Structure 1
């Protein structure tokens, strides 16, 4: 058993061996063959691991304890072979799977893996035969020429392989050429001998083999690559289409001669043009190039090679720049016009012209513009010389057709004149079937030509925009064409309107237009939708079409999606030509969310969401309910009014009975200041001091039994007098005797009956004793200041039939004078009659005419009867005895009305 200390020593030994090998420690084994081992890929290989008997660091180990590993992978034991107790071998039938390093290992105490020895194995291929050996003679400098050969080395050997270029002439070998950094070329700096045959081959060698390429015969003069000519120079010689190129050669090896290639291009072009090779075969140092464009910047280059069988041309020389001379313009300006109509007889003509730079041939100094009427009246209207490319004129259309002529001038001369007819109308045939579409990243316009011959076409286009001033461009094409590319700056995602005008010898054809895009995309923004009209179950949506800047393509269709807050979404498709759309079958009084999207051929873009709420009632639905209800109410009111009108007498009787007007009472016509106005006597009827005190007494209804039948008769007479006088006296307030006003029915806060309310005002008539037998011509009714209620017989006419006949009759009012009830007549009272009257109505007046309670004889029907009240005491209690006054034999107008006095002061009347 290993001690702990020995186990640590073994670990350290293993680490040192792994790091430093056998240079520092004693090895316990060895592998044969020794490292490094180079093997062909795919070959078989056998290795042997030999154990040493003298290893002092661990106990005796047998060969069957050895296991092999390739890198970190244990090799299967089927490949092991135990030769003896100290030797173990391993065999690999295919080394393509062998991974370096290969190690033999054992397990020591503690099951620790111990490496004994390891070798590095390198796999590779032997070199292949080099192929395609070729050589070239290169001129590096004017006096320095080298030989450079190249070859194809074949497949990668994965091993270090050495290549050597060998050459020989007859029986003489030249020094070998060994590549420095590459394995497929080698440059020899030895002098090159021309007009000799050299044999050249390549030798390849590595650890696994050696091989030589085929020998090639090499003639140096046939493989020369000279330096290009230098010091190039261009001269125009004042010819607008000719330039002369001269140069200096750098290769000079007689008798070898050179041949040349010359190429050129204009400064604004990328395409090179070459001089034909047959024109430059001979030895030279200059060459003249013709058929160039006038006043154009050109760039030239030249290359050379050895005449004969030479296979290599020199590199192109440095560029040289030259200009051709000016020439007069080859073509006239392209002319077009814009016409603004001010009236049917007047036009504003805006002429525009431009020239192709390739046709200018110089610098334009000026333009000559002539506008005239067509022959036979060809006298010019205006001739101007301009250095701009536009002008404006005012033309009178009544004068017929006009023609505009434009000529350009430069230093070399003038251009051909361009004529543009300006007709009053485009009366000629137009082109047909005009279409435009993208092609080769440009816009191609195609059309069908009219039957009549066309001199030229004008293609006009502009970018569609929402403003009025959209920039316009145009170009002119020959009459033989039926299609062309637009030559302006065409942008993607922009809509262009293209118009084609055919121009004839005697007029102009009608225009035809189309719209197109160079490239389309999804819209930049979606439509913004809003409501135009909202109903109960429908809504009318509207939106503005997208601007041209927002469309980015042709709008194919719209989609409208709408939903409630919690409902499913509904999507409808709308034609692109529409600007409004109705939605139906919606729920009433519901919030909806609607969103709209516009689609091109590339896709769609949604606009902002919009909300709306449907109405609770449809239009006219409220009116349909309210109007019938109002009509029914008005009809009910009308029927009620008609009913009340038909029952007006009944209603008037129970609600507002007729009340006499106090202003029409006789007492309203009397004034105490003018008594002579109402009486025949010149003296005062009512002398001062002729009245005594009058008091009012109340007697219960039960007391009427104490009256005798004789005593009750005067009250019947009193009733008649009261009824007779009610037509002249009103129970309504407004007294002339300064009493409190009478409270009407409508003013009463207590809601008392009209009969009770009217009893709060009483009237009285007082006649002086000294004139018993006289009756005033005009009856005077002074009003008392008493506020005592009227007699119950006056308040309730139904109780005035027989005094004391009903036990339910309320208390009656009586009077006393000076505290004595029966001495009024005996003491010579100044009162001849004393009575109290309450207002009466028409029914009471009718009852008065029917009453026959005063006398049983005819005297009861006579007018002018007088009544005097005398009060006497009765043994049974206070009673009232009425004494009749003597009646004068006067007319009916002289009948004296009697009233019961209420409160009278001695010495006169209360001021009115």
Structure 2
């Protein structure tokens, strides 16, 4: 069994748990309806008083628990004689269902959980007569007075009292009414150029008050219009495109001081000329469009420097409003404004340096929808930082909200601009998505951005997906103007499917898909065989030319470095001595003299095959071709400059045996000084037969 302490804890839990388990925001438990308000009953009278009784009361609507109302009545005093009682599901008590005299009336409210009853109302059926509203008239002469006829005269009833209330045409709330009046009312000290609205209601003796009469308007003393016409320029989606149109609003009645007869528009052009237009109110013109609130000049303001507009009535004109056309350029403060927007209103906030307001006359806040159908503006004092619009702002529609400054001279400058939505949803699809370049491991994608009228909200970014592997987020900021994206690290020769979609705060839009196949690496390898064939052909040509050289056939097309060097006898020491000997013999009677000591030089001839060239024309390392040092020694000799090109280092060779005179063999081997006096060509070259004949 549970101990007393345990029972005590259980009892506390039973009390606490229902409250702890209650969920915040959960619907209240079912309950009977609350009592309705007491009924207010009357007999409507127009030309004659109705015999039916009409009762009204406050009806509370509850969709979760529907309430049914019923009207009940019975005689107030049973001793008055036979009477009837009844119930009605409507608001009327018909004559055949009641008796004259005093009635007790109440209302019953009932739902599925119970019922409730209003307080009883007791009245005499002859004392609930409700006359029709009175009809008002007025005199426009001083004093400011209004008249009405009491409807009780026509009903042949005793006249009761009347109530009156008034307000200006610009007000939205009626002040307290004045009562105890009988047929007229004098309004003291009206403001000039002001429209006032009046309503009157009356009652007969022992009856109900009538409904308020129709609004009766009266204007105070007429003067010339006051203030200035509210003038602005409609430049479409951007104030810098300079395809602007003039717009202005109607003057309020308090400003107009009566009926405006016409507007006068003065246009100044950049070339110094002016144009004056008269816009009558009563006559429509093709040059102007009027929507009931605003006027639009149908011609463009291109090449216009400034505009001025004034309005005039029968007494005189207003002061002229002047505007200088917007200054070309980008908004000065991109992030200066913030928006708070719904379907009923738009509030604009901005934050600018305090010293900025010293050089301006006023701010102008403007909004325009993306389709250009809705356009409005308000002018705000330079000391304020908030603008407010009332209206019906469409869902999923972009509104371009802009803030402007107007200088004391009327010069317009755009300060900031922002796009706002009353409600957002997922964006529409991207209009176009394609591949503009394909490689083996990467591709470049291009897409057209979603047009502003169909974005349905602020596009935060675009998502690009490759199959189901990876998704990339690409910024949708204005800085990303190319609308391209490069996919890297792809596989060659593989087919891919890529998709793109736009994303707003409400979610992503639908995907737009495209397919592509990357290129193969073999596309590059295709050129390798061609290069190999060209290389082999070059080797064959060089080999043929080398073989042709060994056949002692001179080919003028062969490079000079392919020829083996030829001896040059002009610098040979032996042939110089032979030349001297021949000259001496010629001087002695011109007959041959033979010297026994003269010995013919022995030439050692060694046949060598030309070494193979590399593909770049250079000789193999460690071959039999001459070194760079030998070539430099050859360059020191001017006699062989024509045989070897100094710019070609490959033509330095040493393919010849040294030429040695037999009679000087021992001296050459023993004397180093004499060897220094001899020229390099004696070591390397032998003369040709042609050169010997010349000697």
**TM-score between the two structures when normalised by the length of structure 1:** 0.41
What is aligned with 2:476?
576
CA offset digits 1:88-118 (Å, max 9, x no partner): xxxxxxxxxxxxxxxxxxxxxxxxxxxxxxx
Shift of 1:606: 2.9
2:278 matches 1:386: yes
Structure 2 unaligned blocks of 5 or more: 1-34, 58-71, 107-116, 237-241, 280-287, 289-295, 554-695
1: CA distance, partners of 2:278 / 2:55: 68
Instruction: Verify: 1:280 aligned to 2:182, yes or no.
Output: no
2:342 pairs with 1:443: no
Whether 1:354 and 2:253 are equivalent positions in the alignment is: no
For the 8 Å contact 1:430–1:502, the answer to whether it is kept is no
Q: What residue in structure 2 maps to residue 596 of structure 1? A: 500
Match of 1:561 in 2: 465
Deviation at 1:146, TM superposition (A): 8.0
Alignment of 1:22-37 (within 5 A): none
1:460 counterpart SS class: strand
Residue 532 of structure 1 corresponds to: 436
SS in 1 for 2:537: helix
Structure 2 residue aligned with 1:502: 405
Deviation at 1:531, TM superposition (A): 1.2
Larger Rg: 1
Q: Distance in 2 between matches of 1:425 and 1:336?
A: 16
CA shift for structure 1 position 334: 1.6
The one of 313, 336, 344 aligned to 2:232? 336
- Equivalent position to 1:410, from 299, 309, 313: 313
1:634 counterpart SS class: helix
Residue 219 of structure 1 and its aligned partner are, at CA, apart by 8.0
How many equivalent residue pairs?
456
**C-alpha contact 1:457 1:476 (8 A) present in aligned 2:** yes
Does residue 167 of structure 1 match 2:77? yes
Query: For residues 638 and 368 of structure 1, what CA distance do their matches in structure 2 show?
Result: 96
Aligned equivalents of 1:508, 1:257: Cα separation in 2: 63
Match of 2:292 in 1: none
Decide whether aligned partners of structure 1 residues 440 and 408 sit closer, same or farther in structure 2, where only a CA change above 3 A counts: same
Which residue is equivalent to 1:457? 363
Q: Structure 2 vs 1, CA of residues 218 and 535 (structure 1 numbering), >3 Å: closer, same or farther?
A: closer
Q: For residue 407 of structure 1, give the secondary structure of its aligned residue in structure 2.
A: strand
Question: Is the Cα–Cα contact under 8 Å of residues 140 and 146 in structure 1 kept in the other structure?
Answer: no
1:536, CA displacement in angstroms? 0.9
The answer to whether the Cα contact below 8 Å between 1:423 and 1:507 also exists between their aligned partners in 2 is no
| Cα distance between partner residues in 2 of 1:199 and 1:349 | 72
- Structure 2: distance between partners of 1:459 and 1:181: 60
Cα distance in 1 between the residues matched to 2:196 and 2:442: 73
Kindly provide the CA deviation profile for residues 283-342 of structure 1, in whole angstroms up to 9, marking residues without a partner as x.
x124467869979797x76433468xx8x84342664766758764343212335899xx
Q: How does 1:73-84 map to 2 (within 5 A)?
A: none
Displacement, 1:535?
Answer: 0.9
Say if 1:527 and 1:606, in contact at 8 Å, map to a contact too.
Answer: no
Query: Is the 1:460–1:472 contact (alpha carbons within 8 Å) kept by the matching residues of 2?
Result: yes
Aligned equivalents of 1:493, 1:217: Cα separation in 2: 52
The residue that corresponds to 1:541 in the other structure is 445
- 5+ long unaligned stretches in structure 1: 1-129, 153-161, 193-197, 203-212, 341-346, 374-379, 397-401, 651-912
SS of residue in 1 equivalent to 2:425 = coil
Structure 1 counterpart SS, 2:336: strand
Distance in 2 (CA, whole Å) between partners of 1:395 and 1:131 is 70
**What's the offset of the Cα at 1:227?**
2.0
Deviation track 1:151-171 (CA, whole Å, cap 9, x = no partner) reads 99xxxxxxxxx9853527xxx
Q: Deviations over 1:728-765 (max 9, x none)?
A: xxxxxxxxxxxxxxxxxxxxxxxxxxxxxxxxxxxxxx
Say whether 1:585 aligns with 2:480.
Answer: no
> Which of residues 608, 616, 635 is equivalent to 2:538?
635
Deviation at 1:634, TM superposition (A): 2.3
Cα deviations by residue, 1:386-437 (Å, 9 ceiling, x for unpaired): 21564888989xxxxx875432112343223334467989999989832223
Q: 1:164 to 1:463 in 2, by over 3 A?
A: closer
TM-score scaled to structure 2, two decimals? 0.52
User: Does the Cα contact within 8 Å between 2:428 and 2:510 map onto a contact in 1?
Assistant: no
Contact in 2 for aligned 1:135/1:147 (Cα 8 Å): no
Deviation of the 1:476 alpha carbon: 2.5
Contact 2:430 2:512 in 1 (8 A): yes
1:134-533 correspondence runs (5 A)? 138=43, 165-167=75-77, 173-182=79-88, 224-230=127-133, 232-235=135-138, 237=140, 244-249=147-152, 257-261=160-164, 274=174, 276-277=176-177, 279-282=178-181, 284-287=182-185, 302-305=200-203, 313-316=208-211, 319=214, 328-337=224-233, 352-358=247-253, 359-360=255-256, 362-369=258-265, 382=274, 384-387=276-279, 390=297, 405-420=308-323, 433-439=336-342, 441-448=344-351, 450-451=354-355, 452-453=357-358, 454-464=360-370, 474-486=377-389, 490-505=393-408, 508=411, 510-518=413-421, 519-533=423-437
State the Cα RMSD in Å.
Answer: 5.5
Superposed CA deviations along residues 677-717 of structure 1, whole A, max 9, x for unmatched, are xxxxxxxxxxxxxxxxxxxxxxxxxxxxxxxxxxxxxxxxx
Question: After superposition, what is the alpha-carbon deviation per residue over 1:228-280, rounded to whole angstroms, capped at 9, x for unaligned?
Answer: 245614346379997654443256665x73343557897xx9x9754633x23
For each residue in 1:343-382, what CA deviation from the matched residue of structure 2 results, as whole angstroms up to 9, or x when unmatched? Answer: xxxx999754333455445554333455799xxxxxx974
Partner of 2:22: none
Distance (whole Å) between structure 2 residues aligned to residue 431 and residue 242 of structure 1: 56
Change (3 A) 1:220 1:352: closer
Q: 1:537-577, CA deviations, whole angstroms, 9 ceiling, x for partnerless residues?
A: 221112122221232222111111223xxxx5433222224
CA distance in 1, matches of 2:203, 2:43: 11
